[in-house]
Chain A
Amino acid sequence: MSDIIMDAQELTKNFGDLTAVNNLNLKINRGEVFGFLGPNGAGKTTAINMMVGLLRPTSGRVLIDGKKVEDVEKGTVGICPQELVLWNFLTCKESLELIGNMYEVPDAELKRRVKQLLNDLFLTEKANIVVDKLSGGMKRRMNLAMALVHEPEIVVLDEPSEGLDPQSRRVLWNYIRRLRDEEGKTVILTTHLMDEADRLSDRIGIIDHGKLLLLDTPENLKKEIGEGDVVDIKLSDPNKNQEAITVLQGVEQVQSVLEVNDRINIRALDAVGKLPRIMEKLETVEVSIADLSVRQNTLEDVFINLTGTGLRE
């Protein structure tokens, strides 16, 4: 059995003049959690929809276990869409039984799985409540359960944490780790949350404007832009940002100075030690600082380094 479970080859999708996904080449390993990281509108969902066979690519193809996606046996993939895709007037139990029934899961096995899923996702008490009456977080968990009831080999989670409170998010993250570690599932996760991608993914693909920019483990991605810290400064007058950037670029051993969302982002080794020099330089252009913080490199900095901008909402 090959280590590669999903192989997207030169995948392109055009909607009229808009290229949503541009020549995407991607290999996903069996049993890994693969994070698709990118801002909203980057093309993640379009790519995912083509990879599971819901959307026909303009060009390119997707292979699952060496077979074309359209020829793969139904049930190999389970998808948890970004939106809540639920039948509001069915109970949690009825919804899961319906989907299990549609995947031809034998009755006895289906009952066992439904009970287990409701328990694992803390929905047992709501088993006989119609979906319409559930809270937002519970609906999110139901959305996930619907993708898992037939025990697919590949689980695709499209922005699963969207709108979740911290407790529900933690339940979800633990469950995703369990899917990989205990059940050996391959999980493909799209997110625009750096933290989520960083904590859960074995490998991350960064995508923007339909193009895959970088693909590696979270650690390697962060190393890619070098060790060090980031000094994040907000000037009281953002109109002077460019002037300030020009003088700050003259500070020794500063790796990069960028404007991100009206703030100035300075990346350097031993940033704390360089702070007095940075302040001196800013005084020369007569600007005052409204806010300043120093932190370690994150995936967001990787993204900024790649695109020159912050993540868009």
Chain B
Amino acid sequence: MKFVGIAKKDFKELIRDRRGLFMILIFPLFFMLVFGFAFGGMGQGNQPHNLALVNYDQGATMPLTNEHVNFGNNLTKLLGDSKYENSNVHLFNINKTTETVADSMLKKREADAELIIPKNFSKSVVALIISTIQQQTVTGINTTVTPSNSTSTIIIRGDTGYMGFGVSQGILVGVLAQYQEKLVTQIQNQVKGTPGAQPIKYLQSKVEAIPGTETFTNFDFLAPGMMVFAILLLTTTVAAGLTREVEKGTLARLKLTKMTSFDLLFGGMLPWSLIAAAQVVILLIVAILIGFHWQGGLNTLLLAIIVGVIGGIASISLGMIIAAFARNDRQAANLGTIISVPTSFLVGAFFQLPQVVIAHVYGQPFQIYELLPWTHVLNALRATLTFGGGWNDIAYQVEWAVLLTIILFIIGVLLFSRNRLRAEN
């Protein structure tokens, strides 16, 4: 049980080093406050996002009615009319323009995102309508229409490093998914003769608020990211702390004793995990105070603490890897910062990342960023704190986070033991 002795030692050192503790807990808090003030907390109202819209849609002819329709215009109108939930504020300011101008607006940040509707968009929608009708008619209204299997891709373009794009893109994806879903539902209702369904007039659309947008601000998207950023910064502190033990010779003193690598590293991990848990709680309290809309109550807080501790252990493991190579504590701190800050960007702590799917696992796309445990930690924190998800909603992410953290911890223990706990060369 020597690891208990090491855990007690590290805990006392952490608590008694007021300056160090202040930095560990206050530094991320400072970031939280800055981002909270900058991105939508503090009771700021929802703002419309500037959308540059390029409509290449050439329209199509509806089956049965032979009516000429343009679903591109329909979608444009719908986007323009959409509002935040329980609010009169529109989701988007639409600027209909050409692709060249839209690109230029993106560069000047006059537009948060650019939406390009392709020329065969209406044909695709018509194909969807025909396909839906045919699936619905069991005994068969013998239509003379053949689906064209036409597909089209709506392009959402923007600067992934720009927060405005991150949020606009998230909302746009939701609106487009809802658009297609409602279109299909509407057709199904009309074919079945659901009361209230209007005669064949597929252009009919109803503008509804987008669920979940009522109170959604950039800060709600960012606050869990800030927590992951704080957890990732533990890497720097752990790496510097372990390297200081090497530099000061206290590690050599311990090496002469009967202490094992496991005692040192597992014992050291315990107080740092407590720090990670404390960071989650403190940052959540501060985030709530400055406008974060916490969902789900104490249950989600408990889940978030568990997830935060897993992320903390991953950061400690990364700290061990750095401490295995750093020459002194300053180099360890620099290396820790150089690694942990870009990692926080890579895991999507500050903005949404482009899709880079490298595999499919259990039918779910697995992106390159998901090789990092903190991506799963962030996804789980967002799912539970921002959207109020329970254990079932985060289980997949937690499983991945645990697996990747175990791998990272084993690598950390092996490297640190090999380079630091054997006789020096």
A81 contacts across to B, CB distance below 8 A: 249, 252-253
Interface residues of B in 237-258 (CB under 8 A from A): 248-250, 252-258
A94 in the interface (beta carbon within 8 A)? yes
Q: Report whether A54 and B258 are in contact in the complex, using a CB–CB cutoff of 8 Å.
A: no
Quote the shortest CB–CB distance from A186 to chain B (angstroms): 16
A85 contacts across to B, CB distance below 8 A: 248-250, 252-253
Q: Bound state CA distance, A229 and B423, in angstroms?
A: 46
A127 in the interface (beta carbon within 8 A)? no
A77 contacts across to B, CB distance below 8 A: 256
Q: Bound state CA distance, A52 and B424, in angstroms?
A: 12
A89 in the interface (beta carbon within 8 A)? yes
B65 in the interface (beta carbon within 8 A)? no
Q: Known contacts A54-B424, A87-B13, A103-B257; decide if A98 and B5 are in contact (CB<8 Å).
A: yes
Interface string of B240-278 (1 = CB under 8 A from A): 000000001110111111110001000000000000000
Chain A contact patch, size range: 20 to 34
Quote the shortest CB–CB distance from A7 to chain B (angstroms): 18
Quote the shortest CB–CB distance from B45 to chain A (angstroms): 48
Q: Which one, B250, B258, B424, B425, contacts A104 given CB within 8 A? A: B258
Q: Which one, A53, A55, A87, A94, contacts B250 given CB within 8 A? A: A87
Quote the shortest CB–CB distance from B16 to chain A (angstroms): 4
Q: How many A-B residue pairs have CB under 8 A?
A: 69
Q: Report whether A99 and B16 are in contact in the complex, using a CB–CB cutoff of 8 Å.
A: no
Q: Known contacts A55-B423, A55-B424, A85-B249; decide if A74 and B256 are in contact (CB<8 Å).
A: yes
Interface string of A88-128 (1 = CB under 8 A from B): 01100010001101111000000000000000000000000
Interface string of B113-139 (1 = CB under 8 A from A): 000000000000000000000000000
Quote the shortest CB–CB distance from B307 to chain A (angstroms): 30
Q: Report whether A89 and B12 are in contact in the complex, using a CB–CB cutoff of 8 Å.
A: yes
A78 contacts across to B, CB distance below 8 A: 256
A90 contacts across to B, CB distance below 8 A: 9, 12-13
Q: Report whether B424 and A101 are in contact in the complex, using a CB–CB cutoff of 8 Å.
A: no
CB closest residue in chain A, given B255: A54
Q: Bound state CA distance, A139 and B319, in angstroms?
A: 30
Interface residues of A in 122-177 (CB under 8 A from B): 130, 146, 150
Q: Which one, B9, B252, B258, B263, contacts A87 given CB within 8 A? A: B9
Q: Which one, A52, A79, A89, A99, contacts B17 given CB within 8 A? A: A89
Q: Bound state CA distance, A128 and B369, in angstroms?
A: 49
A83 contacts across to B, CB distance below 8 A: 248-249
Quote the shortest CB–CB distance from A158 to chain B (angstroms): 11
B107 in the interface (beta carbon within 8 A)? no
Interface residues of A in 184-213 (CB under 8 A from B): none
CB closest residue in chain B, given A74: B258
A146 contacts across to B, CB distance below 8 A: 253
A: which residues have CB within 8 A of B?
49, 52-56, 70, 74-75, 77-79, 81, 83, 85-87, 89-90, 94, 98-99, 101-104, 130, 146, 150
B: which residues have CB within 8 A of A?
2, 5, 8-9, 12-13, 16-17, 248-250, 252-259, 263, 423-425
The 9 A-B residue pairs with the shortest CB-CB distance in the complex, in nearest-first order = A102-B257, A85-B249, A89-B16, A101-B5, A89-B13, A56-B423, A102-B259, A74-B258, A103-B257
Besides the contacts A85-B248, A87-B9, what 16 more A-B pairs have beta carbons closer than 8 Å?
A: A52-B256, A54-B255, A55-B423, A85-B249, A85-B250, A86-B250, A87-B250, A89-B17, A90-B13, A94-B12, A98-B9, A101-B2, A102-B5, A102-B263, A103-B257, A150-B257
16 contacts between A and B (CB under 8 A): A54-B423, A54-B424, A55-B424, A74-B256, A79-B253, A81-B253, A85-B250, A85-B252, A86-B250, A89-B13, A90-B13, A99-B257, A102-B254, A104-B258, A146-B253, A150-B257
